[in-house]
């Protein structure tokens, strides 16, 4: 006998996840979100003071992830991002630009900021963006991996421009949520 459609829906587990993006200005945070959101669902754009919120629903087999992806709006200086940005955040994506050493050096401070202002058990990932600019690379993949190991988080290299590995970041997040 066929299962009614609405009964299928009821068995799906719903997960609400708040994801924040941090990192120096110009590393590609906004483009990473744009690339990810535009590819999957409609991007409802809610502009607020200090950050933008992009709500996205992702359906995977028996689960529905309701994502709230928060993007900073020109406030990427330590201590300048309002506390509310970090509040109840389940995940933080720390982004640096592989062609910009300074942005890599800032990673540790962003990590500490998330630890101190984010949720107690906040899940973090490190992202080295702009790998399409390989000839301008200043931070090697090894360095990225080494730092991520030190911090005890995963490392991904991406290109928002080429659409490379962007989905991988979010899939890792879903997997980590799945384990809870
Ligand atoms: P944000 O300040 O961290 O939000 O950075 P944006 O997303 O605004 O990007 C800053 C600049 O870097 C813009 O000019 C983007 O077009 C560019 N950019 C972002 N991601 C990439 C990428 O993967 N490759 C290249 N070549 N440029 C990128
Ligand atoms: Mg931005």
* pLDDT, one tens digit for every residue, the chain (180 residues): 555 555 555 677 888 889 999 999 899 998 898 888 875 444 444 444 456 677 788 887 788 888 899 888 766 666 666 667 888 889 999 999 999 999 999 999 999 999 988 888 899 999 999 999 999 999 999 999 999 999 999 999 999 999 999 999 999 998 887 765
143, two tokens: 């360095």
Distance CA 13, CA 8 (A): 11
d(CA 63, CA 24): 33
pLDDT at residue 64 in the model: 87
Instruction: Provide Rg for the chain, Cα atoms.
Output: 17
Spatial contact of 143 and 104, defined as CB atoms under 8 Å apart: yes
Residue 45 and residue 55 in contact, taking contact as beta carbons nearer than 8 Å: no
If one counts every other C-beta atom within 10 angstroms of the C-beta of residue 82, the result is: 13
Residues with CB under 6 A from ligand 1: 25-31, 129-130, 132-133, 159-161
Alpha-carbon 101 to chain mean position: 20
Predicted local confidence at residue 108, as pLDDT: 96
The answer to whether the CB of 158 falls within 8 A of the CB of 165 is yes
- Distance, CA 52 to ligand 1 centroid (Å)? 16
Buried b (16+ CB within 10 A) or exposed e, 126-164: bbbbbbbeeeeeebeeeebeebbeebebbbbbbbbeeeb
Q: Distance between CA 51 and CA 14 in Å, rounded? A: 25
Nearest CA to ligand 1 atom 24: 130
Q: Which pLDDT value is given to residue 78? A: 61
Task: Note the pLDDT of residue 56.
Answer: 83
Substitution site in 31, 75, 133, 161 for ligand 1 pocket (most atoms within 8 Å of beta carbon): 31
Contacts of 47 (CB under 8 A, 6+ apart): 73
Q: Which residues make Cβ contacts (< 8 Å) with residue 128, sequence separation at least 6? A: 96, 97, 98, 104, 139, 141, 144, 155, 156, 157, 158
Residue 7 confidence (pLDDT): 54
């Amino acid at each position: 006998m066929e299962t009614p459609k609405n009964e299928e829906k009821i068995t799906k587990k719903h997960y609400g996840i708040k994801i924040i993006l941090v990192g120096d200005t110009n590393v590609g945070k906004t483009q990473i979100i744009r690339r990810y959101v535009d590819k999957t669902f409609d991007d409802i754009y809610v502009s607020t003071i200090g950050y933008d919120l992009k709500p996205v629903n992702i359906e995977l087999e028996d689960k529905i992830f309701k994502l709230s992806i928060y993007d900073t709006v020109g406030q990427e200086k330590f201590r300048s991002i309002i506390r509310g940005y970090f509040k109840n955040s389940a995940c933080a994506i720390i982004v640096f630009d592989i062609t910009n050493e300074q942005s890599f050096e800032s990673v540790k401070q962003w990590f500490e900021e998330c630890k101190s202002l984010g949720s107690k058990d906040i899940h973090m990932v490190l992202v080295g963006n702009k790998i399409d600019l390989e000839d301008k690379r200043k931070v090697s993949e090894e360095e990225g991996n080494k730092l991520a190991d030190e911090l005890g988080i995963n490392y991904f290299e991406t290109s928002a421009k080429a659409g490379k590995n962007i989905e991988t970041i979010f899939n890792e997040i879903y997997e980590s949520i799945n384990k809870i």
